[in-house]
Amino acid sequence: MITVFFVDDGQDFLEWDLNDKGEVVDCRPFQGDIWIGVKVHNKDIKPGDLLDITTSDGIRRTLIHAVEKVQQLV
């Protein structure tokens, strides 16, 4: 599992926890009800990346908030 930290552009979410399948399993500090369950298609996520996602309603899009850092969870 990894935590993806986003550049703060004033959005209501700053961190996502992703499981090994690339699914968002937690979101902080807000909007968990929107983002939990979203599928992330990027395989090797690194700072500066924009995430390619499929939303819970099946729409594939690119998230406009860049990745700030990625942390491996133990």
pLDDT of residue 42 exceeding 80 = yes
pLDDT at residue 73, as a whole number: 85
pLDDT of residue 74 exceeding 80 = no
In terms of residue numbers, what domain contains 51? 2-72
What's the number of domains the chain is made of?
A: 1
Q: What is the residue-averaged pLDDT of the chain?
A: 97
DSSP assignment of 2-63: EEEEEP-SS-SEEEEEE-TTSBEEEEEES-HHHHTTPEE--SS--TT---EEE-TTS-EEE-
Q: How far apart, in whole angstroms, are the C-alpha atoms of residue 14 and residue 4?
A: 8
pLDDT digits (tens, 9 = 90+) for 11-33: 999 999 999 999 999 999 999 99
pLDDT of residue 52 exceeding 80 = yes
